[in-house]
Amino acid sequence: MLTMENGVSSRVPDALLADMYRDRKRVFIDLLGWDLPALEGQYEIDQFDGPDTLYLIAGDEADSHLGSIRLLPTNKPTVIGGYFGHLCDGGPPACANIWELSRLCLSPRIPASQRRQIRNRLLTASVLFARANRITHFCCVTHGWYIPEVLSYGWQCRPLGVPQIDPSGMVGALEIRLDDTTAALMAAAGCWDETPVQRAWDMSVSRGDLQ
């Protein structure tokens, strides 16, 4: 199951979203050691997880989180705009047609054999979402050691500036161009997996949400 969900309100939601926040705490705080807040000691939720935040979430029949990714339009508050603008030579992206990808999280409970499959489904769904909403670019901040991984997806990337040292290590900001060749390039890289995306699933959002 792959679904598009809106974000957290004043309370932590039940089922799939709550399990996603728990896994984010396990991955980003417990495993990677990031200095992030943990709501009630078990949910990784920050100021960019609001009622209008969009998530693509892969889950199972029991509403257990398998993997997810967060999408934020850059004309609203983003991680790159709030904390990493210094990584962008021309300033952080701020446009309704450029969205930030963050918090790509694969559940530590799934086996290694399933991780690549879930990742590919999330990446594919992100591109399909972009196609449905006239989004021309993604952007992201990532560690220097992970940049080759991002390039391996088949995405057309360019650095927004020179990577710099952060308390967590070398980090850089990337812009990812999305066009008619994206799906073919991802397929050639072995990263295109449209199987779980239901054709009846409405991936579009109101253009008013993008202004």
**pLDDT tens figures, 43-56:** 999 999 988 799 99
Instruction: For residue 207, tell me if it sits in a domain.
Output: no
Look up the domain containing 74 and give its range: 2-193
Q: Is residue 183 part of a domain?
A: yes
187 located within any domain = yes
206 part of a folded domain? no
Q: What is the CATH number of the domain that holds 139?
A: 3.40.630.30
Identify whether 86 is part of a domain. Answer: yes
Q: Is the pTM of this model over 0.85?
A: yes
Q: Looking at the 3D structure of the chain, how many domains does it have?
A: 1
211/208 Cα distance (integer angstroms): 5
Angstrom CA distances, 163 to 137, 141, 147, 158, 171, stand at 20, 10, 10, 12, 5
In a domain, 181, yes or no: yes
pLDDT of 14: 67
pLDDT tens-place string over residues 97-147: 999 999 999 999 999 889 999 999 999 999 999 999 999 999 999 999 999
The answer to whether residue 83 is domain-embedded is: yes
**Does 145 reside within a domain?**
yes
Quickly state the pLDDT bin for 200 (edges 50, 70, 90). very low
Q: What is the mean pLDDT of the chain?
A: 89
Place 204 in a pLDDT band, splitting at 50, 70 and 90: low
